[in-house]
Structure 1
């Protein structure tokens, strides 16, 4: 297990070396590298002040400047701020969470991107706001890798904000919670505009997210008009979107990625999500093995959970006593139904969207994303839907990067096409030069990493298979 972890770290370090010339071009302000990050569970910055409940959603409760870094070991010398802000739980009660803001030297005027990274975890210490900091222990390799994607937007000149949209108890999965956390993060950044050099009272915003990050992005897009209509959102980019959690459960159960399921159950059962009604039901049907799985999910990030529940079934009576009947249990069924994106005709995006998905996606069902695109298109949303015919779930995030950046550029310029379109692309990789000279080092690094994973993500599958035995021994 140790040698495999070293190999992963070695690969990441190799990626960093390929973008070092770009990083070195960033500002080299004096920083104190002796101050290492404190996990959120022990960091008082994450605790809201007394009386915060009386403030409006998006109110800034605390602020600080931090040292951001690649994988916790290489400082990213870009101006980085964090805001603790007020947001809202599923039941409407006030809660607080954090957004991390990255400001380039010469940012584009009055524009910022909300980047919802896929941290896919129900452990608070896996929050992106911690993982992005210098000296943070890198348990969450997913958001660490996605930090490279964030750089592509940052190096294009945009201010980028990345919210901890799962809230203070890391509730992975509940769409409305994550949507409100995202929109309130946008409000907080807008309220911080003077310190970021943004002059407009309502800055232009584009929301971006892939996979787990597209839960937050998709629901924020759907809730924009009803929850935060004052935000000047110009567009949305959502890829690999889990539109129907029941379909995801059925697809990934007893597969390489079945470890996502205990995380989702733990997340949906958190107090800020559906804990009051769902947790008693879940607790009543869990076996000792099932309880141990949820305890593990509540303390570990995504990759350890994938290894811990590798090719196992959440429907096994070794885990919970209802078997497949768990999906028909009334409370469980109601929660899952409430989290079907597109089910409500009142929750539809107002700004244009780019949606994209791998036809061969082995984690998030393609059919649900295509269905959602059609539903929203029929309700008047302008959507460009791209099907990537080559590559799996993970590789498609790389392949899609030029299309995502082009759409963001057009959204800010107001030149996206009205109406809906659909196209299929068969390329399995892209030319780094397509992103321009400034982004070529980042693109090359991403290509190098995902080339090692392999076509259709088969290389990743092989690596996980090798890790299975030592992880479960």
Structure 2
């Protein structure tokens, strides 16, 4: 019943989505960039504090889509977490408290970096149900996209920070938690689930929900190389270990692409680096041999989920993925589920037989919410189960969802046609707008 009420409310006016507070909302100004905002600078000596320690806090004003003020209490917390090499770093989590907030639980929702409108809608759904929602910056102070263990510890330490934040008024020192994430957010969710038993066993985790999971970075790299989505590849290509290798093998064209990736966010990367190959000698001198370079190969292997039994989720997990996902290969997620099940995890794996990467995040939302509520209630199934949704072509929702993969392929065909035909380029721009908006 709660899910049906939620989906009805989402389609109604935003003003009715969350109970209105009587206090006037402060005028919302433009935030400073992190590089010019001293809030993001950790205080001296923070390294000696425990992971998850709150270093700074502030109340903020938030707005739906950046325009409509949200009647919720919102805060940012700077907290101590752990880098890949074990050193102390600081990052930020944003927390939202609705007026009807439950006192003993919260949801940690990891944002999809190229889908802010969808992510805000999903966040609003949890707020409507009365959940405090935390949205951690799991990429850390250097915006490192891809390193799974960094993202995982960032999420877990963010949970520690939220749990100890007395301003939220929890009635317990160990609130119940469910972690969710999609696509890039599923990297953070999957690794947090994997590391939690050893890194943060004191947290009262009730479940994890992850979709479109990049479970194997090697598989994802090969899958999207030289496609419309190859712009997702350059951003992860940084770090103390990988930089010396890149300096040795990178070409001028490759260096230019990486410099552009440093200066832009994900949408800009997709625009700057479509239909290009990081595995070509135009980008780096090793060609496909890049995958076998010892340092690169080691890094990619360490960022593959489900390899080690000791890194198996202890709480129930809901994994969902579209068969025809055009960005993240379905096969890698299926392999991850097999591994976790072999290691004794409780996993529900739902395959969406229609649609692609973008549509699945929205289509799966009712099932994700059902799982979140079941996890908090302790009524999720034991063991491993598999099911398929939208598997019938007679399903009208499946027919609609199937438009996404078709549009994506058509965009790729037009892109491959070259730049000589102005009509083709015009159509390409229109289709890209459609795909990006959806």
Q: Shorter-chain TM-score category? A: 0.7 to 0.9
Residues 263, 297 of structure 1: 8 Å contact kept: yes
Q: CA deviation at 1:368?
A: 1.0
- Distance (whole Å) between structure 2 residues aligned to residue 409 and residue 149 of structure 1: 15
Matched, 1:467 2:415: no
Partner of 1:377: 341
2:276 paired with 1:282: no
- 8 Å CA contact 2:354, 2:402 repeated in 1: no
1:195 aligns with 2:143: no
Corresponding position of 2:62: 68
Equivalent residue of 1:77, what SS?
A: coil
Structure 2 unaligned blocks of 5 or more: 1-9, 416-427, 434-438
Q: TM-score, normalising length from structure 2?
A: 0.88
Q: Which aligned pairs between 1:23-172 and structure 2 lie closer than 5 A?
A: 23=17, 25-27=19-21, 29-33=23-27, 35-119=29-113, 141-172=114-145
Q: Tell me which residue corresponds to 2:205.
A: 233
Measured on the aligned residues, the alpha-carbon RMSD in Å equals 2.4
Name the TM-score, length of structure 1 as normaliser: 0.82
Deviation at 1:152, TM superposition (A): 1.0
- Please, which of 361, 364, 367 is the counterpart of residue 325 of structure 2? 361
Cα distance change, pair 213–162 in 1 and its aligned pair in 2 (3 A)? same
Give the Cα–Cα distance (whole angstroms) in 2 for the partners of residues 413 and 96 of structure 1.
Answer: 33
Cα distance in 1 for partners of 2:137, 2:340 equals: 27
Task: Tell me which of 362, 375, 379 is aligned to 1:411.
Answer: 375
Tell me, yes or no, if the aligned pair for 2:138 and 2:155 is still in contact at 8 Å.
yes
Residue 236 of structure 2: which of 261, 264, 271 is its match? 264
Cα distance change, pair 256–19 in 1 and its aligned pair in 2 (3 A): farther
- In 1: Cα distance, 2:60 partner to 2:391 partner: 39
Instruction: Write the distance in 1 (CA, Å) between the matches of 2:31 and 2:392.
Output: 37
CA contact 1:360–1:456 (8 Å) conserved in 2: no
Q: Deviations over 1:37-59 (max 9, x none)?
A: 11112111111111100100000
Whole-angstrom CA distance in 2 between matches of 1:34 and 1:250: 43
State the Cα deviation string for residues 413-436 of structure 1 (Å, max 9, x = none): 01111111000111699x9xxxxx
Q: Give the Cα–Cα distance (whole angstroms) in 1 for the partners of residues 75 and 376 of structure 2.
A: 23
SS at match of 1:293: helix
Contact 2:228 2:270 in 1 (8 A): yes
- State the match for 2:423 in structure 1: none
1:46-100 alpha-carbon deviations (Å, 9 max, x no partner): 1111110010000000000111122322222211111000000000000000000
Label 1:372 to 1:112 Cα distance change in 2 as closer, same or farther (>3 A). same
User: Which residue number in structure 2 is paired with residue 443 of structure 1?
Assistant: none
Q: Quick one: distance in 2 between partners of 1:327 and 1:233?
A: 36
Give 3-state SS (helix, strand or coil) of 1:387's partner.
strand
Q: Which runs of 5+ in 1 are unaligned?
A: 1-15, 120-140, 270-274, 432-446
Aligned partner of 1:135 in structure 2 is: none
1:240 shift after superposition? 0.9
Q: Within 2, Cα distance between the matches of 1:428 and 1:202?
A: 44
Q: Deviations over 1:198-256 (max 9, x none)?
A: 01110000000011100000000000111000000000001111111000011101111
Which is further off, 282-291 or 18-27?
18-27
Deviation at 1:460, TM superposition (A): 5.7
1:307 counterpart (250, 271, 282) = 271
Q: Structure 1 pair 21/469, CA: closer, same or farther in 2 (3 Å)?
A: closer
Q: Is the 8 A contact 2:19 2:100 kept in 1?
A: no
5 Å-filtered alignment, 1:384-463, equals 384-426=348-390, 455-459=403-407
Larger mean Cα displacement after TM superposition, 68-77 or 175-184: 68-77
Deviation at 1:145, TM superposition (A): 3.0
CA contact (8 A) 1:235 1:351 kept: yes
Match of 1:8 in 2: none
Alignment check: 8 A CA contact 1:238 1:356 kept:
yes
Give how far 1:462 is off.
5.7
State how far apart, in whole Å, the 2-side matches of 1:31 and 1:308 are. Answer: 39
Task: Report if aligned partners of 1:454, 1:460 keep a CA contact under 8 Å in 2.
Answer: no
Residue 211 of structure 1: aligned partner: 183
Shifted more, 460-469 versus 386-395: the winner is 460-469
TM-fit CA distance, 1:17: 9.7
Shift of 1:454: 6.8
CA contact (8 A) 2:54 2:161 kept: yes
Output the CA distance in 2 between the equivalents of 1:346 and 1:114. 23
With over 3 angstroms needed to count, the CA separation of the structure-2 counterparts of 1:107 and 1:25, relative to structure 1, is: closer
- Aligned residue for 1:162, secondary structure, equals strand
Q: Is the 8 A contact 1:23 1:76 kept in 2?
A: no
Q: Over residues 256-299 of structure 1, what are the superposed CA-to-partner deviations in whole Å (9 max), with x where a residue is unaligned? A: 1010001121xxx2xxxxx2221111122111221111111112
Higher relative contact order (CA 8 A, sep 6+): 1
